[in-house]
Structure 1
């Protein structure tokens, strides 16, 4: 299939999975609901589905600006509604005066319960409130078993979508030029360090691209790739806007504040 050439080799198994979903829906005339997909996986779903005349699909994560979303693939004669994505908004409070809570603390608590990341959508931690979008099939398990995060007791309850709070996270964009699109070069540029130090972080397993650890500094990035450097936050390669007369790449990057 021609689409394989547009994606990395390590992404081919997920492409195969989406192709399987599409073929299964077309054969059985039964819709398919996915787990939560990261932005790169969502891009693959869109590429695989294309403009299939016999099927429809939609992505939904609870809000228009949701990062992680579930996909529904269905026969073209059906209608896809928001409730079909089986999303639940859960909320808990913690004493902000006594506990400093971060996004990673909440995710860590989930992982310790054996909950797969794919069952949880976006997480917002703000002003003593934790809100998360979860797959409906695990919401009761979360409410019963996730009773503590760090040193704080928490009690998750379902709340209406009208009560959803927005994250304060903002992205700062910057235009620059780089000699190549290698991971070590981009990390060096975005985080303001030497290429050698960037390479050490990468080789040490401290850098993720699209939520997967990459330990090869020569790894080639593409527009839309999400980068995270342990202890220094998340960033993104937004665009490659052209090349200079000296064959350097003009790029637009963004870093999460």
Structure 2
């Protein structure tokens, strides 16, 4: 099946078609030239679409790895492996580099400050992975193609002056994920029922949010309130954050199902 037909079958919209076409190009480059080839950074949603597209194209799962610089990274690249490169050695061919931007803590810089500064310098989002912000420094994972430019030219974010240096990947300061655990009982594992708990909404409002197209299950849009969730599923919604259904327990005497939800703060 050619590239256009694959993209049509996937149902990719205009915004994602170019990105996904590049994913196929990188996979083909690694296969034909037998060299490592990688995508730009992908969001979780884009990664799910890319992996589905590769499956449809007949690319085996062991032909590539997802790399984000650290375990649990949200934004990752896909690195396609030539015959001579094993998955466990993929990081040796990774185009990822690690930068630390230090600043005076009284400026209280946020993720938005750093991202805005980078965009203002003409750095597109696809060249930058996760931005890990601390009290007086931010660690960034970036592609090799923009690292040298940032080391030489990035001097400020918000109102703060920056001191930018390169660090080894193992020195990344990874902020602790903040979350809260909620226990509840639901009438069923329908998406609207569990989302009512996870997003702290009335069930009717949760259903309306789902039908509006703003909710994703495991990074795929889901507009069906009656979609059944399973233990381990992640649900996210624009403007409401995300949660994980971490545990599905037994049924109470009244026929309700006990659940545990981990809501990310």
TM-score normalised to the size of structure 2? 0.68
Q: Tell me, what secondary structure is at the counterpart of 1:140?
A: helix
Moved more, 122-131 or 145-154: 145-154
Task: Tell me what 1:95 maps to.
Answer: 104
Q: CA RMSD in A?
A: 4.4
**Structure 2 unmatched runs, 5+:** none
Task: Tell me what 1:147 maps to.
Answer: 155
In 2, Cα distance between equivalents of 1:106 and 1:99 = 12
Shift of 1:138: 0.7
Change (3 A) 1:81 1:23: closer
Q: Tell me, what secondary structure is at the counterpart of 1:107?
A: helix
Query: Which of 152, 167, 174 does residue 159 from structure 1 map onto?
Result: 167
Contact 1:237 1:251 in 2 (8 A): no
**Structure 1 unmatched runs, 5+:** none
Task: Tell me what 1:105 maps to.
Answer: 113
In 1, Cα distance between equivalents of 2:177 and 2:117 = 21
Query: Which of 8, 22, 28 does residue 27 from structure 2 map onto?
Result: 22
In 2, Cα distance between equivalents of 1:129 and 1:110 = 15
Q: Tell me, what secondary structure is at the counterpart of 1:35?
A: coil
In 1, Cα distance between equivalents of 2:262 and 2:139 = 25
| Residue 85 of structure 1 pairs with residue 94 of structure 2 | yes
Moved more, 22-31 or 60-69: 22-31
Number of aligned positions between the proteins: 246
Shift of 1:116: 2.1
Q: What do residues 36-56 of structure 1 show as CA deviations (whole Å, max 9, x unaligned)?
A: 223344445555358839x63
1:206-245 map, 5 Å: 209=216, 224-225=233-234, 227-230=236-239, 234-238=241-245, 241=248
Change (3 A) 1:60 1:241: same
Shift of 1:91: 0.8
| Residue 181 of structure 1 pairs with residue 191 of structure 2 | yes
Task: Tell me what 2:68 maps to.
Answer: 61
Shift of 1:235: 1.5
TM-score normalised to the size of structure 1? 0.70
Contact 1:61 1:70 in 2 (8 A): yes
Q: What do residues 170-226 of structure 1 show as CA deviations (whole Å, max 9, x unaligned)?
A: 3334454366325xx665432323456668888999x674899x8979696976445
| Residue 190 of structure 1 pairs with residue 198 of structure 2 | yes
| Residue 37 of structure 1 pairs with residue 33 of structure 2 | no
Task: Tell me what 1:119 maps to.
Answer: 127
